[in-house]
Structure 1
Amino acid sequence: MEDLKVRIVELKGSSYEMGLEQSKEIKTTELREQLNILEGLTVNSNSKKAEELLKSISPNLLEELGGLAEGLGMEIATIIRLYSGYDVTFPSMGCTALINNDYYVRNYDFSPELYDARIVLTNPVDGYASVGFSQQLIGRLDGMNEKGLVVGLHFVNNQHKAEGFIATTIVRMLLEQCGCIEEAVDLLSTIPHGFCYNYSITDPSGNGVVVEATPEKQCVNFKNPLICTNHFESEILQEKNKQEFQGSINRKEFISSLLTEELSPLSAYRRFNDGNSPLFFKYYKEYFGTLHTVVYLPKELSLIIGIGENSEPMTLSLRNYLDGTINLPKVKKGKINQTVF
């Protein structure tokens, strides 16, 4: 078993100031090694087009990238290419989520090599405060904002692609700009999508929605309870699925079998985080190992977090963070087993 440490980061102020603060992180943490990896993944990215789109869709993110460029002493075009998530090539990843009884539980499966290992709490001057797991610094793998909107991504296919934003950047846009499911669905329809992803979304209403998104079109499916894995179910999009997605179907069927148990949020956390669960994977060398388990509670504005397998759960309150009544820990530690092939 190996240690996996996830830092807990707090960002406040203007978007520019948050970018400036994160430049210090890159200089002093493992994120500096990510720069070399991102250079290879973003060789053909069109930073000029990305800048034009960000100006209209998410000017706050563009300001944040400006602060990052200033802090690192790099050209803004280079920073946009590296961190905007526009027209970037990324390996496939796995994610399993359940929205049920006013909670959202999820496992994120990938490789620690490309994992930011950051839980970020932001309280921007312009935009909703949020908490979530970052990817490529400004992006989010999943998260919840101060309105109780919860969003997570689910990779489907990278073979059907176009020039557009990767899902991590899109999740961040939704969290910062949308206050409810309807606003999130509307914004998703205006953003250029680079690849095929599912977006699982809920809010304090307790309703759930999956937006199946390709570069050409999006299908919106409201469900309650909602189970989301890594394949499209809408008939018109099924041709976009990978040739082999039986594993995604199996995970969905297993979660369906859990619904009769009426799991509490903590019970759901343990079913997802158990190292022997059919929902927990250890193929880290193949970019399919479970890195974190998280339960979002949108009505309470709190979350339950676990890193690696069989992790002692940690609870964070976004509400208490905003009230200034919480002392944030610096890190959440866990264990992963990278010897499985």
Structure 2
Amino acid sequence: MSTDLNFSKISCKGTSYEIGSMLGELLEQNPELRKINIETTENGVDSETLKKKLILLKEFCPNVIEEANAVSDRIKIPISRLAVFNDSSLSSGACSQMAALPSITKNGHLLIGRSYEFVHDDEKNLVVIDADNYPAHIGFSLFLFGRFDGINEHGLTVTMSSCEFGQPSYGEGLWFPLVLRAILDNCTKVDEAVYLLKQMPVRCCANILIADRYGDAVLAEIICYGDNRKISLRRSDEYLISTNHYVNYDMLKYDNNHGKHSEMRYQAIEKLLRKEKGEISESHIKSLLSKKIPNGVCCSYYEDGLGTLHSMLFDLTDCTVDICFGSPNLHMFERVSFNEPVGISLFNVPYKNEFPQNPNDFWQTLPREVK
């Protein structure tokens, strides 16, 4: 089956309130995005829940409060109806991410590859934001104000892959879209981002990859359950890889939903990085992102929740990002800059849904390595 993915792109500059007003305009123009980001109930979350969320945002993402107030004013709804404040709104997508450090790339640059997979009607909105008093950044939004991924003007990049499948996080705290947003808005280097990550009351089960233009990178594997959390860091001089399972030894006991498809994508990435060590280029990573699983990480199983919605290649040394909207097996990458003209654009990208040839094998859960 072949049909279209509905994307939007918004580029805006100004105060956080002015940016929020443009985000409200985007919701007016994009019914699919509006449906995702506005609760159907008349009042949204209860006042106590909203109060707790706003207290956290005031400390770590005060600009999001300004943006949310502006959206509320623009489309004339209480901010309690914005989905970003409702913990039950978030579903788990699948992702692949990799960092090729300067020691193994042909040009000595730090390269990041990233793909995001989920259902076809998930949020598909690229933002290019230059807010007063904050570094400009480029990334895909989640619940409008949070981020799936991104790069800021300082060359700091943050991406993620979910591990919520086996152990959904619960309790009070910031879920990953706002964690990533806080890092992009406040950090210039990996060490700063790690410090902030440890200070935040993170509430997610995820792998977060952080890298900077100075050649540093770290992968944070995170597990949260109630008021308890664990952050396990992994560094390397050569490469870092993450899909939808834990790898660090001290995290294996939490790895209770290790999908075979996650392992297949991990192995495809590692095979390339090992084989082409010292010669890794942008074309190698784009090729990997474009090849279908098991030879690459691209997936076409949209109806099953594993369809590639966007792919990204970051060159942190040059502070650039190339993006493919939809499947890179079908479409080309394009350069997106911090100087995109202010405005909103809506566009459609064809996609083709497929199903695994052997679904029982493909969707199986692998046993834990350590109990």
TM-score (norm 2): 0.82
Per the TM alignment, residue 275 of structure 1 is displaced from its structure 2 partner at its CA by: 4.1
Q: Given the superposition, is the C-alpha separation of residues 39 and 94 from structure 1 closer, same or farther in structure 2, using an over 3 Å criterion?
A: farther
Report percent identity of matched pairs.
26
Higher deviation after alignment, 10-19 or 274-283: 274-283
Cα distance in 2 for residues equivalent to 1:47 and 1:188: 22
Cα distance in 2 for residues equivalent to 1:328 and 1:50: 30
Query: Aligned letter for 2:290?
Result: N
Is 1:64 aligned with 2:67?
yes
- Of 213, 234, 254, 2:248 maps to 234
Structure number with bigger Rg: 2
Q: Is this contact kept in 2: 1:140–1:169, CA < 8 A?
A: yes
Per the TM alignment, residue 300 of structure 1 is displaced from its structure 2 partner at its CA by: 1.5
Per the TM alignment, residue 134 of structure 1 is displaced from its structure 2 partner at its CA by: 1.1
Name the structure 2 match of 1:180: 189
Cα distance in 1 for residues equivalent to 2:261 and 2:41: 32
Query: Aligned letter for 1:290?
Result: T
Query: Aligned letter for 2:203?
Result: G
Per the TM alignment, residue 36 of structure 1 is displaced from its structure 2 partner at its CA by: 5.4
Name the structure 2 match of 1:201: 210
Q: Given the superposition, is the C-alpha separation of residues 5 and 114 from structure 1 closer, same or farther in structure 2, using an over 3 Å criterion?
A: closer
Name the structure 1 match of 2:351: 336
Cα distance in 1 for residues equivalent to 2:344 and 2:288: 25
Q: Given the superposition, is the C-alpha separation of residues 94 and 52 from structure 1 closer, same or farther in structure 2, using an over 3 Å criterion?
A: same
- Over aligned residues, Cα RMSD in angstroms? 2.5
Q: Is this contact kept in 2: 1:132–1:143, CA < 8 A?
A: yes
Query: Aligned letter for 2:353?
Result: Q
Cα distance in 2 for residues equivalent to 1:38 and 1:232: 35
Per the TM alignment, residue 43 of structure 1 is displaced from its structure 2 partner at its CA by: 5.5
Q: Given the superposition, is the C-alpha separation of residues 221 and 57 from structure 1 closer, same or farther in structure 2, using an over 3 Å criterion?
A: same
Cα distance in 1 for residues equivalent to 2:60 and 2:27: 26
After TM superposition, the structure 1 = structure 2 runs for residues 19-58 of structure 1, keeping only pairs within 5 Å, are 19-29=20-30, 30-35=32-37, 46-58=49-61
Q: Given the superposition, is the C-alpha separation of residues 17 and 36 from structure 1 closer, same or farther in structure 2, using an over 3 Å criterion?
A: closer
Q: Which digits, 9 at most, give the CA deviation of each residue in 1:70-129, with x for residues without a partner?
A: 1122223333xx224x634422211111111311011111112222x2111000002110
Per the TM alignment, residue 169 of structure 1 is displaced from its structure 2 partner at its CA by: 1.7
Name the structure 2 match of 1:75: 78
Q: Given the superposition, is the C-alpha separation of residues 185 and 284 from structure 1 closer, same or farther in structure 2, using an over 3 Å criterion?
A: same
Q: Which digits, 9 at most, give the CA deviation of each residue in 1:3-59, with x for residues without a partner?
A: 22422211211111111111111112122222456769x767921100111111221
Q: Is this contact kept in 1: 2:157–2:210, CA < 8 A?
A: yes
Cα distance in 1 for residues equivalent to 2:221 and 2:209: 9
Is 1:297 aligned with 2:315?
yes
Q: Which digits, 9 at most, give the CA deviation of each residue in 1:208-232, with x for residues without a partner?
A: 2101122312111112311111112
Q: Given the superposition, is the C-alpha separation of residues 327 and 33 from structure 1 closer, same or farther in structure 2, using an over 3 Å criterion?
A: closer
